[in-house]
Structure 1
Amino acid sequence: MIDFLFSQYDGYSTLHIFLEITGVIFGLMSVWYAKKDNILVFPTGIISTTIFIYLLWEWKLLGDFTINIYYSIMSVYGWYHWSRKKEGETEFPIAHISKNEKAWAVGIFVLTTIVVVMIYTFFDKFTSWTAYVDTFTTGLFFVGMWLMAKRKIEHWILWIVGDIISVPLYFYKGYTFTSLQYFIFTIIAFYGYIEWKKILNNSLQKS
């Protein structure tokens, strides 16, 4: 079983294995803080995405590399957005996505997909079925991260779908630790949605 799960790492450097594990740990911390609606989701997430930016460039996984650059940028925006106060209260609490934001979400998904296709075509990366799946999950995660930064509960649904797809995808690519990370992400995202739903319902009852 151990060989089946981790034999892919035989040719990896110790540094890359250490960085991947570290990135996974901070990634899990970030999702856990997101579940708790805690602003620490962003600093822990930035550490994780910064590590994976380096690793994914080394692994030549351009779609995932692009995702993590975007994650880092949106984490800075989300950090600022979540920290804003108005008369001592959180200015942007958990909420449902609006009709206007739904239109923006579709636009972000389509634009992201087009950009990734252009990048993959330019670098001649459409040589495996995984590239097409990467294109789809990149679009999902771009929209999901945007919605999370805006504190919209629907972002959990996109995370769940993207995480489920990513578990076998990363294992197939040979990155077992990252695959396990997405498996745990899926579980946390499921409970995160439930927890945010309770918080949102409570706030609506009080208003």
Structure 2
Amino acid sequence: MPLAHWLDSLVAPLNAVLFHFGQDAVTWAELLGFATGALCVGLTVGSSIWNFPVGIANNLFFLVLFWQGRLYADASLQIVYLALGAAGWWEWLHGGERGGERRGRRTVRRAPARLVAGLLLAAAPATWGLTVLLASAHDIAPFWDALTTALSLAAQWLLNLKKLQNWYFWIAADVVYVPLYFAKVLYLTGIVYVVFLAMCLLGLRAWRRELAAGPAGPGAPAGAVAASGTAGAA
């Protein structure tokens, strides 16, 4: 049996249930996108650098999903997320304090107020531009999709720099995503984003604890915590 047919057979029971609630069929790309998305958030909660390769896989699944659905604007945004994910992966490995001739891994820190303010200010024109773009692509809710995208891009930027405030932006985006997906009759997606919202709250608490723990060892910078990525990602 071809792989695609085998994957379709896995989602068939789920679609049988969702059909009775008026939702369109879930594809294997969507299901794998949900699975990798949940795993990515879980890894981020644990401050693991493996969130980036898993996140890149998540972007690829949704790129396939949106392209097959002819949602070209959303598919193009996945390419942006791919690039940001790759940059964040490098930043967590090599963007930390300089030790000798090379920089070490990034540590959890708070973002300066000017950076947060700058991202909030940038979110306004980004939302406007994306609203125009998504409206031209006949998006069903161009403003709300644009707003959540702008918030998510800001959150990803802060995540790449391993700043605590990234969780506030993810939480704000998810608070909008949940009712938005239910309004679009995407019940499974809405439920998944309720889970994501809960995981973001856990992530905020976990990162606060790491930050409050102080230096991870002798010579560690004040207020910093060493990254917990595994050796295989280096």
TM-score (norm 1): 0.83
Instruction: Assess if the C-alpha contact under 8 Å between 1:49 and 1:69 holds in 2.
Output: yes
In 2, Cα distance between equivalents of 1:66 and 1:148: 21
Q: Does residue 116 of structure 2 align to residue 117 of structure 1?
A: no
Partner of 1:75: 85
Choose between structure 1 and 2 for higher RCO, CA contacts under 8 A separated by at least 6 residues. 1
The answer as to 2:111 corresponding to 1:101 is no
Aligned residue for 1:162? 173
Give per-residue Cα distances to partners, 1:98-148, cap 9 Å, x unaligned: 13312431343134213312313433x26x5x2221121111111111111
Distance 1:41 1:33 in 2: 5
Q: CA RMSD in A?
A: 2.7
Contact 1:24 1:177 survives alignment (8 Å): no
Find out whether 1:8 has 2:23 as its counterpart.
Answer: yes
Looking at structure 1, the residues matched to 122 and 67 of structure 2 have their Cα atoms a distance apart, in angstroms, of 23
C-alpha distance 121-172 of structure 1, shift in aligned 2 (>3 A): closer
**Cα distance in 2 between the residues matched to 1:150 and 1:5:** 44
Aligned in 2, Cα 1:32/1:101: closer, same or farther, shift over 3 Å? same
Higher share of residues assigned helix: 1
1:81–1:150: 8 Å Cα contact kept in structure 2?
Answer: yes
What is the rounded CA distance, in whole Å, between the counterparts of 2:99 and 2:20 in structure 1?
A: 52
Q: Is the 8 A contact 2:37 2:55 kept in 1?
A: yes
Contact kept? 1:144, 1:155, Cα under 8 Å:
yes
Which residue number in structure 1 is paired with residue 212 of structure 2?
Answer: 201
Identity %: 24
2:45 to 29, 35, 39: 35
Higher Cα radius of gyration: 2
Aligned pairs, number: 199
2:33 to 23, 34, 38: 23
Instruction: Find the counterpart in structure 1 of residue 149 from structure 2.
Output: 138
Unaligned segments of structure 2, at least 5 residues: 1-16, 223-234
Counterpart residue number, 2:9: none
Supply the AA of the counterpart residue of 1:33: L
Q: Does 1:54 align with 2:64?
A: yes
* Deviations 1:148-181, CA, capped at 9 Å, x for gaps: 1111111101111211221222233233332222
Against the structure 1 CA distance between its residues 98 and 177, is the aligned structure 2 distance closer, same or farther, given a 3 Å change threshold? same
Do 1:63 and 1:134's aligned partners in 2 also have CA atoms closer than 8 Å? no
Mapped to 2, the partners of 1:5 and 1:80 lie a distance apart of 45
The DSSP-based 3-state class of the residue aligned with 1:203 is coil
Moved more, 153-162 or 77-86: 77-86
- Report the TM-score, using the length of structure 2 for normalisation: 0.74
Deviation at 1:62, TM superposition (A): 5.4
